[in-house]
Amino acid sequence: MSDRITVSPEWLAEAVSTVFAAAGLSPRAASVVAESLVEADLRGTPSHGVLLVPMYVERLRKGSVSTHENAEVVVDAGAIAVLDARHALGQLTGDQAMDLAIDKARTYGIGAVTVRRAFHFGGAYRYARAAAAAGCVGIAAANTRPLMPAPGGAAAVVGNNPLAFGIPTMDGEPVLLDMALSEAALGKIRLAAQEGRAIPPTWATDAAGTPTTDAEAALAGLLLPAAGHKGYGLALVVDVLTGVLSGGGFGSGVNGLYADTATPNDCAHFFLALDVSAFGDKNAFAHRVAALTDQITSSPKAPGTERLLLPGQLEAERQAAARDTGVPLDASVLEALQKTAETLGIALGVPC
C-alpha cells in the first residue's frame, strides 16, 4: 500500500458511518459524526479526521463513550443553559449545544451554553461556523488534559485547549478562526524527531521543564503555550469557561483521549452566540465586516507573498477543492479504518 491514497468523500463518509452504526450508533448519529470527521480531512486538518475512528470505536466498545444522542438539560435559565453530555460523542452534543445557544440568542440577543461530562467534539470551527451561518458571532471552546506548564513551570497544568470564533459575512463564507493554544502541534514535534531535525526553543521543554531544540527530548517533555504567558493565560480562561463554569472536569480532572480508553474523557465545552441583528442592522454589520476584511486583504504585501488570507480561508478552499479531487489520507489511516470495521464484523470494500 502506498503512503498516500485519495478516496472520494462520499465513499469515506459512508464507510465511517457504517462503522459507527455497527458500533451501536443510530444511523442519524453515525452519519453526523462521520460527516464531521471526513470534513476535517477535507479541510486539511487530519488530526481531527478519520484517524480518530479507531479510538472512538474502542471507547464505545469499552463504555467510556456512550451511545446517547442528546445531552440532558441541567440548567435552562433565560440566555444560559448547562448541559450534561453523559459522555456522548461530542459532535452530537456540540451541535445540540450550539443550536440551543443560537435559539437563545434569537430571543435574548445572546446565548451561552456550557456542557459537562463531555467527549472530544472534533474541530471547534464546526460550531462557530454554525453560529455564523445563523447570523450570529459564534464562539466554541473545549478543555483537554493538561499538556502545558505555567511560565517557568515544569509540570503540565493547562490543556492545549481549542478555541474558535465564527463571524458572518456578506458572501456566506464566514471569517473562521480555529486554534489550539500551544506554540506548535505535537505532531510537528514527532515529525521533526523522525527526521532528526531540531525544533525552535519556543515549541517545547524537556522532561525537566527547560526549553529545548531537541525534538526527541521534547517528546518526553511539555508543549509550550503560544506567545508564552499569553497562550497560557488563554488556556486557563478556556478551562474556566468550560470545565469550571459547567461543573465538569477541569485541569487534572480531564483524562487523556488515548491514556485509558475505558475511562471517560470527562472534558467540557463552551458555546456562545451573539445575534448580530440584536446589536443593529445585520446588513450594515455585513458591510462593515466586508470593509474591514477588504482593508486587510488589499493591504501591501511583504516581498514573496502572493496574497493575504483571512482566518479559515485556506481551509475552506482546501475543502472545496478536495470535494472534486478526493480526500487525501495516509494509507495507515485507511488501513486502521478497515481493521476497525473488521473487528465489528463488517467489510468496507474497495475504496473509490
Antiparallel, parallel or unpaired: β 72-77 and 80-84: antiparallel
Output the DSSP codes for 260-299.
-TTS---EEEEEEEEEHHHHS-HHHHHHHHHHHHHHHHTS
Nearest to 127 by CA among 140, 114, 117, 141: 140
pTM of the model: 0.95
Residue 250 has pLDDT above 50, yes or no: yes
Supply the Cα-derived Rg of the chain in whole angstroms. 20
Residue whose C-alpha cell is 446588513: 283
Higher local confidence (pLDDT), 272 or 350? 272
- What is the identity of the amino acid at 56? Y
Parallel, antiparallel, or unpaired: how do β-strands 267-275 and 110-118 relate? antiparallel
Instruction: Write the pLDDT tens digit of every residue in 187-219.
Output: 789 878 888 999 999 999 999 999 999 999 999
CA distance 281 to 300: 31
| Angle, vertex CA 262, rays to CA 257 and CA 266, nearest 5 | 50
pLDDT digits (tens, 9 = 90+) for 48-58: 999 999 999 99
At residue 229 the predicted structure's pLDDT band, cuts being 50, 70 and 90, is: very high
Structural domains present in the chain: 4-62+324-343 (1.10.1530.10), 72-180+226-279 (3.30.1370.60), 183-224 (3.30.60.50)
Q: What percent of the chain has pLDDT over 70?
A: 99
Spatial distance between the Cα atoms of 342 and 50, rounded to a whole number of angstroms: 16
d(CA 195, CA 215): 10
3-state SS of 209-225 is: CCECCEHHHHHCCCECE
Quickly state the pLDDT bin for 185 (edges 50, 70, 90). confident
Chain centroid to Cα 302, Å, comes to: 31
| pLDDT for the residue 1 | 41
Whether the CB-CB separation of 197 and 215 falls below 8 Å is answered with: yes
Q: Give CA–CA dist 212/226, Å, rounded.
A: 15
Spatial distance between the Cα atoms of 118 and 269, rounded to a whole number of angstroms? 7
Task: Give pLDDT, residue 159.
Answer: 96
CA atoms within 13 A on the CB side of 247: 8
pLDDT surpassing 90 at residue 346: yes
